Amino acid sequence: MTEEKEVKFYDKKISRRQMLKYTGAGAAGVALGASGLGSLMSVFGMAMPDDDERATNKINFYGAHQSGIATDVPTHVYFASLNVVVTSLKELQDLFKTWTPLTVRLMNGEPIGDSSTNGYVPAKDTGEAKGLDASNLTITFGVGPSLFDKPGLGLAHKRPKELTDLPHFPKDQLDPTYTGGDICIQACADDPQVAFHAVRNLIRAASGKVTMKWSQAGFNSYPMKKSKKQTPRNLFAFKDGTVNVNTKSKTDMNEVVWVQPGETASWMTGGTYLVARRIQMHLETWDRTALGEQEATFGRHRDTGAPIGLHQENDDLGLERKDASGQPTIPADSHARLARESGERMLRRSFSYSSGVIDATGTYDAGLLFISFQKHPKQFIKIQNSFGRVDKLNEYITHRGSAMFACFPGIQKGSYIGEALFKSL
């Protein structure tokens, strides 16, 4: 009988046979010699884990598309925009390879490494999610236009022509502190500590390769009706997400969200473009505005979410309708009307935020972390341009942050985050 060799992973000794099982390689598969095994260990630092179907409140990592896009929206987000400080393509590739098994473990509700018995070294996992389950954690990765301009990476020729900084829109007052980034990580979960823990540990594992540029935590609350989640409300108390793209419809998602073959750079097939906007909501001004004026601003009734003059949230806007004086029932400068008249659609996936006060006046630093997914940035751009200076909502909001990222397609077993980009080089 062949002697079983032991390999040490995270303070645990496992047999070579177990290693082959964990990595999906067997007698009939790829034979890993000492050099191959060592290479895998040096890149990943651990055996490649699989989705644990036994985990509580678990979303799968592997699939045709990344999680956190078509997945049901949970109650919390921690969004981080990172700057890359690596200077070679291999270092960047190794970064995504390192993140892959860690992300699987985090989405399984596990720590990124087993506990160490050595009290003289830092723990592998920061520990604040210990005792919590997976909490429907999803982790989504994207790359920004600035990454493709980094010296030494040689990525310029792989940058999709659509992946550029968003244009300046009317009424934008962007703060560079909340603008752009080389890589984004969107962690969504039903527990805020689980979402934060995920981003914290991924960045910690990438020490010396990335730095934090900006981040934002956000939240949603879902009213329940007959055990079914209802549309959440933003901080203006209006329903946010009405008449959204049907994420259960393959046709809808392929038409609006998922990049199809031949539509852009080949490595983006099955991926999508993420737009993030940090929108300050001027709560003090809004709170002094009459309810009727608020409803005219959105073009919808506050309590029901129905179009003005109608009763159900999902009733068609009926833009042709007139009031008794012959004016449009849905005001010409209302937010809902202008969005519909743009003729474009996108998948909206937004969260409220509250980050203290802005200055000594005590003005709230609160608003909306607007996130949308679309197969082409022009969808968002056209909608945003349709608002222009006309949108009545502009009186009550200011866009402070802006970023766009290309989100990779899904990751298959045996692959790693962003492999499509690196294989195409």
- pLDDT band, very low/low/confident/very high, at 88 (cuts 50, 70, 90): very high
Same domain (yes/no): 233, 138: yes
Whether the per-residue pLDDT at 421 is higher than 90: the answer is: yes
CB-CB neighbours of 91 under 10 Å: 15
Same domain (yes/no): 119, 205: yes
* 61 located within any domain: no
Q: Can you give the pLDDT at residue 259?
A: 98
Same domain (yes/no): 357, 247: no
- pLDDT band, very low/low/confident/very high, at 47 (cuts 50, 70, 90): low
* 265 located within any domain: no
Whether the per-residue pLDDT at 304 is higher than 60: the answer is: yes
The conformation of residue 311, written as its DSSP 8-state character, comes to: S
Mean pLDDT throughout 154-170? 96
Same domain (yes/no): 345, 414: no
Among candidate residues 66, 260, 268, the one with its CA nearest the CA of residue 159: 268
How many domains, in total, are found in the chain?
A: 3
Contacts of 116 (CB under 8 A, 6+ apart): 10, 11, 123, 124
Same domain (yes/no): 372, 418: no
Residue 194 in contact with residue 135, Cβ under 8 Å? Answer: yes
Q: Can you give the pLDDT at residue 147?
A: 98
**For residues 166 and 175, what is the distance between their CA atoms, to the nearest angstrom?**
14
Q: Can you give the pLDDT at residue 114?
A: 79
Mean pLDDT throughout 231-237? 97
- 423 is written with which tokens? 């294989």
Residue 146 in contact with residue 180, Cβ under 8 Å? Answer: yes
Same domain (yes/no): 152, 106: yes
* Crossing angle of helices 34-44 and 89-107, rounded to 10°: 80
Which run of H or E residues covers position 342?
none
Same domain (yes/no): 194, 342: no
Residue 136 in contact with residue 189, Cβ under 8 Å? Answer: yes
**For residues 134 and 108, what is the distance between their CA atoms, to the nearest angstrom?**
6
What percent of the chain has a predicted confidence (pLDDT) above 90? 84
- 11 is written with which tokens? 């303070």
Percent of residues in the chain assigned helix, strand, coil, to nearest 5: 25, 20, 50
For 61-83, what is each residue's pLDDT tens digit? 999 999 999 999 999 999 999 99
- pLDDT band, very low/low/confident/very high, at 48 (cuts 50, 70, 90): confident
Query: What is 122-144 written as a DSSP string?
Result: --SS--TTTT---TT-EEEEEE-
Mean pLDDT throughout 297-323? 97
Between 41 and 402, whose confidence is greater? 402
* 416 located within any domain: yes
Among the listed ranges 116-120, 135-139, 299-303, 414-418, which one has the minimum average pLDDT value? 116-120
Mean pLDDT throughout 332-358? 96
Q: In terms of residue numbers, what domain contains 12?
A: 6-44
Query: What is 44-109 written as a DSSP string?
Result: HSSPPP---TTSTT---S-SSS-SSSSSPP-SEEEEEEEEE---SHHHHHHHHHHHHHHHHHHHTT
Whether the per-residue pLDDT at 7 is higher than 50: the answer is: no
* 266 located within any domain: no
Whether the per-residue pLDDT at 31 is higher than 80: the answer is: no
CB-CB neighbours of 17 under 10 Å: 13
* 167 located within any domain: no
Same domain (yes/no): 288, 398: yes
Residue 404 in contact with residue 140, Cβ under 8 Å? Answer: no
Same domain (yes/no): 307, 352: yes
* 321 located within any domain: yes
Contacts of 275 (CB under 8 A, 6+ apart): 166, 346, 370, 371, 372, 373, 374, 377, 380, 402, 403, 404
- pLDDT band, very low/low/confident/very high, at 23 (cuts 50, 70, 90): very low
* 297 located within any domain: yes
- pLDDT band, very low/low/confident/very high, at 120 (cuts 50, 70, 90): confident
**For residues 45 and 267, what is the distance between their CA atoms, to the nearest angstrom?**
26
Amino acid at 69: I
- Record the pTM: 0.88
Whether the per-residue pLDDT at 24 is higher than 60: the answer is: no
Whether the per-residue pLDDT at 374 is higher than 60: the answer is: yes
Residue 347 in contact with residue 244, Cβ under 8 Å? Answer: yes
For 259-297, what is each residue's pLDDT tens digit? 999 999 999 999 999 999 999 999 999 999 999 999 999
Same domain (yes/no): 376, 416: no
Q: Can you give the pLDDT at residue 46?
A: 54
- 68 is written with which tokens? 């956190």
Mean pLDDT throughout 310-324? 96
Same domain (yes/no): 108, 229: yes
Amino acid at 357: V
The rounded mean pLDDT for the chain is 90
Same domain (yes/no): 225, 292: no
